[in-house]
Structure 1
Amino acid sequence: MQVTRRTFLKGAMSTAGVTALNLASPMANALQLRCDPNSPYKALVGINLNGGNDGFNCFIPKNNNEYQKYSELRTNLAWNQSDVLDLSLDDNGLNLGLSPELSDLKWMFDQGKALPIVNVGPLMQPRSSGDEIDDLRPIHLFSHNHQSQITQTKTTHYISNEGWGALSAHLLSDSFNMEELTPLFETGSHTTWTNSLPKSANRIGTSLPPNMSFPSMSQNLYDAFRQHSETKDSVFKEYYAELCYDANLKYEEFSKIFNNEETYGFNLDSDVGKQLRVVFLLLLARDSFKKPTQFFSVTLGGFDTHSNQKNVQGALLRDLSSQLSIFYERLEEHGLSEAVTTFTMSEFGRTLEPNGTGTDHGWGNCHWVLGGDLLGNRIVGDWPDLKHNSHDMMTRGRIVPTMSVDLFHATLLQWLGVRESDLNYLFPSLGDQKSLPIFRSCDSGDSQNLTITNAIATAENPNGIDKVEHAIDGNMNTKWSAFNDCQYTVELQSIFSLDEVRFAQAKGDERSYLIDIEVSRDGINFDHVLSITTDGNSNDLVKYPLGSIKGRFIRFVCLGNNDQDISMQGWNNFKQIEVWGS
């Protein structure tokens, strides 16, 4: 955008106090802390599935035991097991598949550019075993308006209007000297997450008005305000004159962006297609806005499926997945896939038990996140126990979330560059864990190689050579190995914020190993953090992020490998293990 006199004056006043940071400088980039400091631009695209999407019919268990519990609850709304698309996502025996209505996005899951975020929702505190439901549930649960506000702001004891996206844009502006237009854009209906008192979204819709012509009286006033003789000696007149002039200038600038008749493959009969096309046009014009970060809000309504859910939700998901697929195809063509992360949100999930042909308001839900910077081919979050009367279930199959939606959103903001110290301000109910292992570029920050004081294993090779201590002795020429499923646990000096583990394996460049990673503070109660299938391409240390979770004990549940020789598939080993954190 061109620099107006008002912008120039604002910039000149800022130089009287603190010198603005050069956005290309190492100092400015260093403010991003835990995520890649060399990325010059990042954008977050939020898709609001308005009405309460049924996420538990977007991701469906394929293995027999879990599918049976799913189908018994869902009855006539259950997908046939054979129709569920295989994603090759396996977590603690859970084989999670994709709804056939989202088939256009399957290529992204297969390529590790899409992740399911399972059983997430507003929680008043991080969930742990033995929690009472009343201590976890947010206020006004099952209310559209209230839960929409909570999901787009923060989970607390009151309803806020301060959207987490807009507030983080304000926090980032302190670091990056953003000016003129805010970096927030709404292409659909108004959303809370992109609006707050200090920063509000630019509501631009999917097309410009036909022109900026004024009625004669307004035109005369506009022309008069542009005359210095009419506005001198009055700061109010000067400011109003600048607004009039600037509005026309903005129209001209946006016209350059919107006057592009290329469809880029988007379906212009689709509302979400039109919105995503506008987001794509704005991304192509990102240099005009001179912002290192931008936020885009897209809205798709109609998910309040109290009746006829299969048909209504199915049509919406097919429309959404086809347009999102086109969106990322275009981003990849322009080298923007790694710079743009797209996520879904919805005010709540649905009851897993139907009310007939539809469902009613629920709590826990499943979402997805898309982008080229993801740690793909995994499941993020813990799938609930769908057995009748389980600890994860309320009446009529309303699922209690196992993970806070605030934690999911905090992870997105850390990727953008929001400081970890600011996350408690944005999300006061977070607890110790500040992020999830979602992004490849968010695995460093101020981490250091932590000292491992002890290691134990439930099994060891009887050859007397591959001993437990060899995985932590600093020697890549030795190793620990054992046959059949087993556990290898390392202990640190004290509780740390754990950012990543690094490990190397013998024949790591020939076969893939299956490993679950669990973390504990006391060595007794372990939380599952990550399921890994190694890529089979390296004998060296490979990094796996843990999301800054607090812990002292790290347990590797070793589940064998995919060697072509079946007799060798039971072997597990580590040449070296490192734990990084602060």
Structure 2
Amino acid sequence: GREYALHPSMTAMARLFGAGQAAVLLNVGPLVVPLTRAQYAGVNRSTYPVPPKLFSHNDQQSVWQASSPEGATIGWGGNIADEFLSSNGNALFTCISVSGNAVFLSGDNALCYQVGTGGAVSISPARSGGSTFGSRKVNAAMAQLIQQARSHTLENEYNRVTARSMGAADTVNSAIGAAYASGTFPAGNSLADQLSMVARLIRGRSTLGAKRQVFFVSLGGFDLHDNLIANHGGLLGRVSDAMAAFQAQMDNMGLGNAVTQFTASD
């Protein structure tokens, strides 16, 4: 039969595959129906449709995340999370992205909570005990404004969301606590940095009040129009090293069979 192989730069992933901890799922992607080259080149789009807005990277990423082109508001990760909300003590931490806003994590009820590789994103001028431009009074005034009831619906909602964000930031930073030992995740690898934060969030799940969660991380740079041989291997190596380091962390935490990673690319 036909043989397939991992890229030579993905040695860490090859070790996981050899140990039965990784698998390759072929023929998965945004295709609407299976297509041969002749069918794709033909004009019978009713029988052989192609993915919507094909060749648009933004749209194909959205199709992966939400089964619809850019502009979709609900992702299938969020749909899964909708089923988890009731089992989590704090539903806000069911969907967490370490790579900005992602439609993948938006559900009918599930919200996409965003953090950075260093922890929660705080609203600095409203932090209790802090100062802005050297003045603690500014922070005190901001905190007071957030707590005030307003007659305008939008103002009340803005205050509610801000207060929720401030409370969530305190909870997240408390949950992630002490960092892992240095050297556990490869340095200079942005994907590894994101997965390191995911591991810390999983470790702090009891503080977050979460039993089932969905996370989102990403690595860009694959839209290579030149120097493919020189650059593509390095990118794949980063994916391989980061995922292997994360799996090692899950194994060390006794969660190797409870947490699943997967990759998707347009």
- Fold-level similarity (TM above 0.5): yes
Q: 1:144 and 2:57 equivalent?
A: yes
Structure 2 gap segments, 5+ residues each: none
Pair 346,108 (structure 1): closer, same or farther in 2 beyond 3 Å: same
Q: 1:154 and 2:67 equivalent?
A: yes
Pair 169,214 (structure 1): closer, same or farther in 2 beyond 3 Å: farther
Query: What TM-score, normalized to structure 1?
Result: 0.38
Matches within 5 A, 1:252-271: 252-262=170-180, 263=182, 265-271=184-190
Q: Could you report, residue by residue, the CA deviation over 1:48-90 in whole angstroms, capped at 9, with x for unpaired residues?
A: xxxxxxxxxxxxxxxxxxxxxxxxxxxxxxxxxxxxxxxxxxx
- Corresponding residue for 2:96? 185
Q: 1:219 and 2:130 equivalent?
A: no
Identify the match of residue 29 of structure 2 among 121, 138, 144.
Answer: 121
Q: Once the 2 structures are TM-superposed, how far is the Cα of residue 244 of structure 1 from its aligned partner? A: 5.2
Q: Distance in 2 between matches of 1:197 and 1:221?
A: 32
| Length, aligned pairs only | 248
Structure 1 gap segments, 5+ residues each: 1-92, 348-582
- Corresponding residue for 1:111? 19
SS state of the match for residue 53, structure 2?
coil
Q: Could you report, residue by residue, the CA deviation over 1:341-385 in whole angstroms, capped at 9, with x for unpaired residues?
A: 1111111xxxxxxxxxxxxxxxxxxxxxxxxxxxxxxxxxxxxxx
Pair 99,198 (structure 1): closer, same or farther in 2 beyond 3 Å: same
Residues 99 and 218, structure 2, Cα contact 8 Å, conserved in 1 = yes
- Corresponding residue for 1:169? 81
Q: Distance in 1 between matches of 2:251 and 2:110?
A: 30
Q: Distance in 2 between matches of 1:303 and 1:99?
A: 15
Q: Distance in 2 between matches of 1:273 and 1:177?
A: 27
Pair 204,335 (structure 1): closer, same or farther in 2 beyond 3 Å: same
Residues 195 and 246, structure 2, Cα contact 8 Å, conserved in 1 = yes
Q: Distance in 1 between matches of 2:84 and 2:177?
A: 31
Indicate the percent of aligned positions where both proteins have the same amino acid: 23
The structure that is helix-richer by fraction is 2
Q: Return the letter of the residue paired with 2:104.
A: W
Q: Once the 2 structures are TM-superposed, how far is the Cα of residue 147 of structure 1 from its aligned partner? A: 1.0
Pair 333,218 (structure 1): closer, same or farther in 2 beyond 3 Å: closer
Q: Could you report, residue by residue, the CA deviation over 1:177-202 in whole angstroms, capped at 9, with x for unpaired residues?
A: 66441411111243321224633311
Q: Once the 2 structures are TM-superposed, how far is the Cα of residue 121 of structure 1 from its aligned partner? A: 2.2
- Corresponding residue for 1:249? 167
Q: Could you report, residue by residue, the CA deviation over 1:87-137 in whole angstroms, capped at 9, with x for unpaired residues?
A: xxxxxx223222211111112111111111223222324x389x9433231
Q: Distance in 2 between matches of 1:248 and 1:170?
A: 23
Pair 317,123 (structure 1): closer, same or farther in 2 beyond 3 Å: closer
Q: 1:279 and 2:191 equivalent?
A: no
Residues 88 and 211, structure 2, Cα contact 8 Å, conserved in 1 = no
Q: Once the 2 structures are TM-superposed, how far is the Cα of residue 252 of structure 1 from its aligned partner? A: 2.4
Matches within 5 A, 1:88-99: 93-99=1-7
- Corresponding residue for 2:225? 306
Residues 222 and 244, structure 1, Cα contact 8 Å, conserved in 2 = no
SS state of the match for residue 115, structure 1?
coil
Pair 234,139 (structure 1): closer, same or farther in 2 beyond 3 Å: closer
Q: Once the 2 structures are TM-superposed, how far is the Cα of residue 138 of structure 1 from its aligned partner? A: 1.3
Q: Distance in 1 between matches of 2:19 and 2:39?
A: 40
SS state of the match for residue 119, structure 1?
coil
Q: Could you report, residue by residue, the CA deviation over 1:202-226 in whole angstroms, capped at 9, with x for unpaired residues?
A: 1101114585336444521423655
Q: 1:289 and 2:208 equivalent?
A: yes
SS state of the match for residue 141, structure 2?
helix
SS state of the match for residue 299, structure 1?
coil
Q: Which has the larger radius of gyration?
A: 1
Query: What TM-score, normalized to structure 2?
Result: 0.79
- Corresponding residue for 1:505? none
- Corresponding residue for 1:52? none
The structure that is strand-richer by fraction is 1
Pair 251,171 (structure 1): closer, same or farther in 2 beyond 3 Å: closer
SS state of the match for residue 306, structure 1?
coil
Pair 314,108 (structure 1): closer, same or farther in 2 beyond 3 Å: same
Matches within 5 A, 1:16-415: 93-125=1-33, 127=34, 132-133=39-40, 134=45, 135-154=48-67, 160-173=72-85, 176=87, 179-196=90-107, 198-208=109-119, 212=127, 213=130, 215=132, 216-217=137-138, 219-223=140-144, 226=147, 231=149, 243=161, 245-262=163-180, 263=182, 265-347=184-266
Q: Once the 2 structures are TM-superposed, how far is the Cα of residue 170 of structure 1 from its aligned partner? A: 2.0
Q: Once the 2 structures are TM-superposed, how far is the Cα of residue 145 of structure 1 from its aligned partner? A: 1.3
Q: Once the 2 structures are TM-superposed, how far is the Cα of residue 164 of structure 1 from its aligned partner? A: 1.2
Pair 95,231 (structure 1): closer, same or farther in 2 beyond 3 Å: closer
Q: Distance in 2 between matches of 1:248 and 1:327?
A: 29
Pair 137,176 (structure 1): closer, same or farther in 2 beyond 3 Å: same
Q: Distance in 1 between matches of 2:8 and 2:52?
A: 35
